[in-house]
Structure 1
Amino acid sequence: MRGTDARAGTAGEVFWVFLRLGLTSFGGPVAHLGYFRDALVQRRRWLTDAAYADIVALCQFLPGPASSQVGMALGLRRAGIAGMLAAWVAFTMPSAVVLVAFAFGVATWGDLDGAGWLLGLKAAAVAVVAQAVLGMAKSLTPDAPRATIAAAGMIVVLLVPSTWVQVAVIVAGGLVGLACLRAPQAEADDVLAFPLSRRTGAVCLGLFALLLAGLPVLAALTGDPTVGLVDLFYRAGSLVFGGGHVVLPLLESETVTTGLVGHDTFLAGYGAAQAVPGPLFTFAGFLGASTTVGPTGLVGAALALLAIFLPAALLVLGVLPFWDRLRRVRPARNALLGINAVVVGILAAALYDPVFTQGVTSAAALALAVAVFIAQTRWKVPAWAAVIGAGVIGQIVL
């Protein structure tokens, strides 16, 4: 790939890069995409902005935790299936460990809403996402038609906040790109290949569907609480678009309403989940460790975590072997121009709500967000250092 580091990496390299991201990526899935872009596109040049945008666009279509799926895809591309597993474990482990520990009462943080360090981290997330949106806009919306598509997508998502509306906007962006935009011919070195065969992809897609249809039947026939727990979290990971916050109502109805987890316990865990880096889907580990029926503790946490992330992994493995060939077809490339532009608009909408609305709650928080933005864009301070610094400053002044 022109201008990027296309050599094969190792699973160990992927693990340490994503462990740093897992320890410092606060702010939710949109912020995670900003951290990924800063670490892997800008700093390490593992892939181009356009290739990264294509992966993000694809994962926006798939159900499950979008940022985790992007991380899995990046790990897979860098170091194969071992790299994909390393990326998932490293990015997921920090928040999962903290939340499971919290479920056991090891970590007692009290009321997190007014914690200064948490307010500082949310302010830093505003700067990270702003940098990502501006950088992607520069490369993906360089002309009037694509800038208009991005603006239209942002307006629709802001005015009609719904996960299904986001999916519809992405589809509309693809249709507009197909009809109105003209992509240049794909260059020979513009390759987004993954070390998987299409047969492997088809098997993974089949397994995804089999588990989605078969686990509820097996749970009903056996009445086994372990199968029921796996079914609950597998369905949650399979049927939800939009990431962590969208899965919460489903998890609440499946755990609190059924008596698996108490309402106060659920709320306490949700509060803790807001304060940890990494994917919000690791909240499943807290719930699995807190269940009152069936497997609980460490066993329940492990089953819940594996079950809720397994659909994401199967979909990534199933779709990516077909993705490079599809994206190189001229009509598909035209559609991708529109999709990538509208994704920029969706990210810009998310920059406002929830990232800005939750991260800038005072003049001091705005000042801190601006300081982090300048530190990253002008002084080239690494994102992880800027985030940690923002947390320390937030504890002092917010």
Structure 2
Amino acid sequence: MSKPKGSLLEIFKASTKLGFTSFGGPVAHLAYFKDEYIDRRKWLDDKTYADIISLCQFLPGPASSQVGIAIGMLRGGLLGGMISWIGFTVPSIIVLVLFALLYQSFDLADANFIHSLKVIAAAVVLHALIGLGKKLTPDRPRIAIALVSALILLLYPSAWMQLLIILAAGLFGWKMFSSMVESKIQPFPVTFSKKIGVVSLGILVTLLTFLPILARNTESMLIQLFDTFFRVGSLVFGGGHVVLPMLEREVVPTGWLTANEFLAGYGMAQAVPGPLFTFSSYLGTMIEGIAGALVATAGIFLPSFLFLIAALPFLNELRKRPAFQGVLTGVNASVVGILLAAFYDPVLKSSIMEGADFALAAILFALLHFFKVPAWAIVLIGVGAGAILNIL
């Protein structure tokens, strides 16, 4: 174990800035994280960041949120992880709770600025793809892994296919790259032990086992809510775009929400920065008020903390071994392919609808990539330019 290297205040400031400016969904979030935490603040090197992304792609739950939590844990210990999560998620939680409370009169699902946010995401994701591609796919074998991964995922898009691609790339990496990996790598500054990791995994398994039993034998709506959202957060692979239909199956057929109420919240969730999993805050508010929002949000994100506490100490040891480094080398290349597939669908397909969209995305990309304009400024410029184009 090692001591955390950063103050909780700096973690809170950095994550809160991201919480207010990280529009565009999970793939864009990874780009914003890289810009803020890796390129600007130098908290981690590219290899460590890529390994964290690979780990979070393996785990159920919100991958981009888990990456942010993990960076907070490595920078400031367990409390740093909590602070990082609070900063990144609370802005969108507040907006979605207010939207639920004012649902009848506060409807932004079809606002014009939502499309501008999608165009911004296209520029940000392309910038991240180029940066990660240079680091993680520097040779033909790894470029091939990335391209094959992207092609397969575009042809057979599903969370389980993504997991199979990662596993296959890891196996290929073990065979291909174990003898070629770096002899020295920077260790994770993990501040908690493997014993705590085992305890965390035990808590997760215990809650998954006994919460459904408790929920079936109680009339408390809050317990039923916590069980539902904890189960979803523990079992969903593929991130925010996968969790939405999964939640729909949990809350609409049960009569907790109507389909129209669910879709209105879905539209708003697309418009706010931060993780799509904060959609749970809207649903909880609609079902059981502010208490419901707190319970639903805690339920869906708690598994991510438990998974990361269980995994990080072991990953820190495993990544020192050449065989496991080979696995991660293959997995990291496949992650580039997964991000490439996501860049095409849904990012490009939902954002570039006409020539003006393409021109705006190209200008934003140039500002970000060549002129090093910070990501938060790109958001402001993109929204402003989108508003002008809409008037014209």
Task: Place the TM-score, normalised by the shorter chain, in its bin.
Answer: over 0.9
User: Does structure 1 residue 353 correspond to structure 2 residue 345?
Assistant: yes
Segments ≥4 residues shifted beyond 4 Å: 106-109, 183-189
Determine which of 153, 156, 167 is the counterpart of 1:157: 153
Contact preservation (8 Å) 1:116, 1:391: no
Residue 273 of structure 1 pairs with residue 269 of structure 2: yes
What does residue 218 of structure 1 align with? 214
User: Once the two structures are superposed, what CA deviation does each residue of 1:284-309 show, in whole Å capped at 9, x if it has no partner?
Assistant: 01010001xxxx11111011100110
User: Aligned ranges for residues 49-60 of structure 1 at < 5 Å?
Assistant: 49-60=46-57
1:62-108 CA-partner distances (Å, limit 9, x unpaired):
00000000000000000111110111001000111000000010795
What is aligned with 2:18? 21
Q: Secondary structure at the match of 1:196?
A: coil
The 2-side partners of 1:340 and 1:185 are apart by: 13
Preserved contact between residue 284 and residue 293 of structure 2 (Cα < 8 Å): yes
TM-score (norm 1): 0.95
In structure 2, the partner of 1:391 is: 383
- Say which of 244, 261, 267 aligns to 1:248: 244
1:107–1:382: structure 2 CA closer, same or farther, 3 Å change rule? farther
* Separation (CA, whole Å) in 1 of partners of 2:70 and 2:218: 35
What amino acid sits opposite 2:208 in the alignment?
L
Give ranges in structure 1 of 5+ residues lacking alignment: 1-5
Tell me how far 1:364 sits from its aligned partner: 0.8
Q: Distance in 1 between matches of 2:309 and 2:8?
A: 17
Question: 2:260 is matched by which residue type in structure 1?
Answer: D
How far apart, CA to CA, are the structure 2 residues paired with 1:92 and 1:50? 26
Is the Cα–Cα contact under 8 Å of residues 173 and 329 in structure 2 kept in the other structure? yes
Verify: 1:91 aligned to 2:83, yes or no.
no
Q: 1:257-293: per-residue Cα shift (whole Å, max 9, x none)?
A: 10111221111111111100100100101010001xx
Write out per-residue CA displacement over residues 184-221 of structure 1, whole angstroms, 9 at most, x where no aligned residue.
Answer: 45555521231110000000011011111110011112
TM alignment of 1:1-398, pairs within 5 A? 8-105=5-102, 108-110=105-107, 112-113=109-110, 115-184=111-180, 186-188=182-184, 190-291=186-287, 296-398=288-390
Residue type of the alignment partner of 1:390: G
Measure, in 1, the Cα distance between the counterparts of 2:244 and 2:42.
35
Aligned residues: 388
Give the AA of the match of 1:280: L
Distance change >3 Å, CA 67–CA 197, structure 1 → 2: same
Instruction: Identify if the C-alpha distance between structure 1 residues 389 and 322 changes in structure 2 by more than 3 Å, giving closer, same or farther.
Output: same
Aligned equivalents of 2:344, 2:75: Cα separation in 1: 32
Question: Does structure 2 retain, via aligned residues, the 8 Å contact 1:119–1:365?
Answer: no
User: Match for 2:259: what amino acid?
Assistant: H
Q: Does structure 2 retain, via aligned residues, the 8 Å contact 1:117–1:390?
A: no
Question: Which consecutive unaligned segments of at least 5 residues does structure 2 have?
Answer: none
Task: Note if contact 2:109-2:271 (Cα within 8 Å) is conserved in structure 1.
Answer: yes
Query: Do the aligned partners of 1:41 and 1:49 also contact (CA within 8 Å) in 2?
Result: yes
Q: Do 1:100 and 1:285's aligned partners in 2 also have CA atoms closer than 8 Å?
A: yes
Report the TM-score when normalising by structure 2: 0.96
Preserved contact between residue 4 and residue 189 of structure 2 (Cα < 8 Å)? no
In the TM superposition, residue 328 of structure 1 has moved relative to its aligned partner by 1.1
Identity of aligned residues (%): 47
1:191/1:107 CA distance change after superposition, 3 Å: farther
- Displacement, 1:224? 2.5
- Alpha-carbon RMSD across the aligned residues, in angstroms, is 1.5
Asked whether the 8 Å contact 1:120–1:368 carries over to 2, the reply is: no
